[in-house]
Structure formats: C-alpha cells, structure tokens
Structure 1
Amino acid sequence: MNEEFVLLEPDDQPGDEWEQLDVSDTEADRIARKQDREFDEFRKRIKNTEQFKLQESVFDDATLAAVYKLVQDGYVDAFGGPVSTGKEASVFEALGGQAGERPEPGSEAAGGGPEGVHSEREVAVKVYRINSSNFRQMRDYLEGDPRFDGIASDKKAVVLAWTRKEFANLERARKAGVRVPEPIAVQRNVLVMELVGHAEDRARRLNEVDVENPETAYEVVREYMRRLYRAGLIHGDLSEYNMIIHDGELVIIDMGQAVTVHHPNAGEFLDRDCENVATFFTREGIDVDPDDLRAYVTEPESDPAGEPEGKLGGEPDADPSGESE
C-alpha cells in the first residue's frame, strides 16, 4: 500500500518565541512555594519530635497533609503527646485554634472563636490508621447504613468513611442530649473533638474506677441508650470500656461503629449492648435484666397527649432489627 506523507508549511517564520512568555514569579507562585516549605517543615517537626517517634506508622504523608490542613484552618494550634494508642487509631492531645484562621498569640482574635472553640482549649486529635485498621469489621458496620450507601470496598475509602461516620454520630448524639465528646472538625482520617479531661489527668473508663453510686450510673446509661435510639442510633459496642467518668460526668465514647436503627444488624447490635451493660452493672451489685433494658430503650416516645407516636426520628415505623414478617 503506497502512501504519501506531506509536511505542512508553517504559517509564520520561526522567531524568538521565548520573548513572548512571561516567566516572572506571580503572587500565586510565591504563595505555593511558601506553603510547600511550611508543609515540609511541619512534616519534619512532627516526625522528629520525640513523642511521635513511635507513631510514624500513623503519620504517613496523606495523614500529615490532613493534619496540616486542620492546622492551617485553625482547628489545631499545637500538638501534644499521645493520650491513647490502639491498633486502629491513636488519640493525641492538642491546643485548638480559632476555626477559619490562625490567630496570632496575644492578639484579640486569640481570645476566642466559634462557639466552643478557643485557642487555648485542649482538644483531642484522633488519627485512624489506614493500613492497620480492621477493614472487614469496619465494612460490616458501614454496609447497610443508609448514610453510606455505595461505599467502595477499597480499604482507604472505608477508613475515610468511618472517620466521617464517627463525626456524624457524635453530632447526632449531642443533639439528642447524650454526653459524648463534642465533634469539632474532620479531615480525611483525622477527627478533632473535645478532650474530656487532660492528658496528665485523663478521664477514666468505667471499668477502671470504683463506681460509688452504680444505681445512678445505670440510670444515666440506660437513658443515654434510649436517647440514642430515639435519635435513630445504636452504639453497637457499648460496654464499660466505651464509657468514661470525669468530674462527675458519664461520657460515652467511640461512636465510630454506631449504626442507624435501620441497619440490617441493628437488632443484634442493640441486644449485645444491653447484654454488656446488664453484665457490668450486675457485677456492680444491681439486678439488671438485658431484656428489661432493651424494652426501656425501645419504648415508643409518647406525644403530648400521652399516646405513643410509634415513629423514630420522623421516620416511618420500622423494625430496628431490619427484619420484616
């Protein structure tokens, strides 16, 4: 097969095209280089700090970028040491800044910020490990949750969704009147929230303290369980290990696995919560029946006329177990 190849004739004669290009620095170029330098310095500061040397598996480049964004946005002003370390996540203490900007120390803006966020306020920074998190267990809690329909089977996507899920669960729980750590900000696999207690004097888990008044503590726990349920949530892993005591307050923590009442395994998770709570308080000397606790938690809310509404959070009537006859 014969083909002819023809060269195109140039429209203009070649000249010194470089004279037509403006290669001078722009303000955007200078800002970008400054941000790159600051991020490199931030990365070195985190990884070279003594207290973070054992945490290098936590602070990969993507996580460092997320933390750096939270610092730049003013949610975190200074990092402290680790408060707790687990297989899936580590919690660090930090100083929270004024969201939206980083106030200069001593400035008027440094005196406060949005509601609940002050530059000198201690906060907790929870960092989920993408590589070592229990991917399969997380996926079991996410699948069937209507808020996360279509979540990919990619491990990173699941961990990032899990972090957003904990933030959303904390927000919903607080609105329902349940004492949980206040959620402040979320960025990728990093969650900023209220630090209950202090790093030097951390709040103690329920299994670590002598409960002086177990009857009152139990009444608080079952009421929080009921409020969560009426807000459409079930904790899913409630036990003495996920409740802490500080300054006379009982606080429920670790809300990442909490599911909606429409999750297909919601009934099973609720039964397990009731069993765990009943077992603990029975050991504390109170006769608690898990079936009675479940009945209390799931009792329909009455309308002002005294008639049960039969609805949960404005949703149609539904069997929390997800089963139908």
Structure 2
Amino acid sequence: MPHPSWLVTSAAAFDTELGVVKTGKEADVHLIERAVPGERGLLLAAKRYRGLDNSDFHRSAQYQEGRRLRNTRDMRAMARGSSYGRGVASGRWAFAEFEALCRAFSAGVPVPYPVQVSATEILMEFIGDGRVAAPRLAQSKARGAELDDLFGQVFEIMRSFARAGVAHGDLSAYNLLVHDGRVVVIDLPQLVDIAANPGGLDFLHRDVVNVCAWFTRRGLPREPESFFAELVGELW
C-alpha cells in the first residue's frame, strides 16, 4: 500500500509524545508529533493495547471465530489466561486492527490511514483539527433532517464493508468520527468475516440495528430491516 504524500517517512524524523487523546478499556490513544528537526511535522495517533485481563478481551472469541492462531504455545497461554497469554491477546488485537485498517483503506472505506504496527501499538493518521481530535457522531447536536447526510455516509461505510465481505461488528455512534462533515470509522480490531464467522450475519444485523436506532432517537426515523436486506444483497 503506497504511502500518502503527507506522511513523513524520513529516517531523520523523530516521534514526540504530546499527551493522551483517549483512554479505553483495552487501549489508550496517544497524540504523536513526527518531524524532521527544523522542518514542520505532522500529528499521528498511537493506539496502544494493554495486556490486561478485562471483559473486552474475554469476549473477543466470538469475533475471532473463523480466524486461526498457528502457534499452539500461544493458544495454550491465551486459554490459561497467563500474563504471557494476555500479552499475546493484546498483540493479536493490535495486528488484527492494523490488518483491518489496511483492508478497509484499500477498499475505499473512510478510516484513519494505517502507518505501522509494532507489538501492541498501532500508529495511524490523526483525525482532528490541530491537537483536538474530531468529535464522535454521538456528540453531534444535529437532529432530524440535519442528520440525513451523515446517515447516508454511515450507510455507505456499512455497504463498503459488506461488499468486502465483512462487518464492523461493534458499530455505533461512538466509533464514528465527524471531521469537516466527513464521517470516519474507527476501532476495527473485531472486524468480522461474514462468511467465515458463524455469527457473521448476526454481527452485520446488530451494526444496522445500532446505527438505525441512534438516528431514530435523534429524530431521523430509519427502519433497520430494509437496510439490512440491502446490505445482505451486497454479499452475494
């Protein structure tokens, strides 16, 4: 995947941490400035997974059905829940999300550009103005017909995923950013292969129901079953 022109790739560049953008149950997002000394730099987001024993890692099995882990030692360690196994789990989530970002970006889905992955950290494009991260869709004050364009963008995101044979798996107004009127989807470690995962269609249906319910509560009625049927039609 070719690098975009805005990305600083010089070996002379330094990465400087500027603070925490967001904390979560399984990962924190840090703001990074990458710059060559004496030149103007750019901002990146570093998402760092923690190897903690928490509910999000416990429920990861349902998303990962259809995936395979070849290293049997790692599989045993994860099953036992040892500290090493928890580290393996967090690393798997980081690599899974990086691969999902690459797949989505290549398919034209609006996601942050994935820069690199190392152990439990993903470096990606920072979506925001200056050092302020773009707000989540859930923070939008728009109501009713004002949301029509945003819904259209969200549905096109789901359609693009469906055409690629996947579902986000945990889509909601909390992992959709709105930047300059453009919707960007984030948090993809659980991306579900609809054909390989026995519950793939259920995950797709849940995504549609969650999205339609949010817009309906905000005064833009959207009936999920017709949209779900349309997305299923994109699969075959």
TM bin (shorter chain): 0.7 to 0.9
Deviation at 1:75, TM superposition (A): 7.8
SS of corresponding position for 2:132: coil
Corresponding residue to 2:180 among 236, 247, 251 = 247
Contact map agreement 1:92 1:124 (CA 8 A) in 2: yes
Aligned twin of 1:25: none
Where does structure 1 differ by over 3 angstroms across 4 or more consecutive aligned residues? Answer: 73-76, 148-151
Contact map agreement 2:162 2:234 (CA 8 A) in 1: no
Separation (CA, whole Å) in 2 of partners of 1:210 and 1:193: 28
Contact map agreement 1:222 1:297 (CA 8 A) in 2: no
Deviation at 1:76, TM superposition (A): 5.6
2:95 is equivalent to residue 173 of structure 1 = no
Aligned twin of 2:17: 79
2:211 is equivalent to residue 289 of structure 1 = no
Corresponding residue to 2:165 among 232, 235, 243 = 232
The aligned amino acid for 1:160 is G
Separation (CA, whole Å) in 2 of partners of 1:96 and 1:178: 25
Separation (CA, whole Å) in 2 of partners of 1:149 and 1:179: 31
| Percentage of identical aligned residues | 34
Aligned twin of 1:208: 139
Corresponding residue to 1:139 among 56, 61, 65 = 61
TM-score by length of 2: 0.82
CA distance 1:221–1:123, shift in 2 (3 Å): same
2:203 is equivalent to residue 265 of structure 1 = no
2:92 is equivalent to residue 92 of structure 1 = no
SS of corresponding position for 2:225: helix
2:47 is equivalent to residue 121 of structure 1 = no
Any idea what the Cα deviations from partners look like across 1:95-137, whole Å, max 9, x if unmatched?
135xxxxx5x13xxx6xxxxxxxx7110001111112443211
Whichever of the two has the greater Rg, that structure is 1
SS of corresponding position for 2:234: coil
Deviation at 1:281, TM superposition (A): 1.1
Separation (CA, whole Å) in 1 of partners of 2:110 and 2:234: 22
Aligned twin of 1:160: 91
CA distance 1:81–1:202, shift in 2 (3 Å): same
CA distance 1:205–1:300, shift in 2 (3 Å): closer
Separation (CA, whole Å) in 1 of partners of 2:161 and 2:14: 29
Higher strand proportion (structure 1 or 2)? 2
SS of corresponding position for 2:102: helix
Aligned twin of 2:51: 130
Unaligned runs of at least 5 residues, structure 1: 1-72, 98-102, 111-118, 302-309, 311-325
Unaligned runs of at least 5 residues, structure 2: 1-10, 79-84
How many residues get paired? 213
Equivalent residues in 2 for 1:2-81 (5 A)?
A: 77-81=15-19
Higher relative contact order structure (alpha carbons within 8 Å, sequence separation ≥ 6): 2
Aligned twin of 1:279: 213
Separation (CA, whole Å) in 2 of partners of 1:227 and 1:276: 17
Separation (CA, whole Å) in 1 of partners of 2:89 and 2:116: 19
Deviation at 1:144, TM superposition (A): 2.2
CA distance 1:230–1:175, shift in 2 (3 Å): same
Deviation at 1:271, TM superposition (A): 1.3
Contact map agreement 1:125 1:191 (CA 8 A) in 2: yes
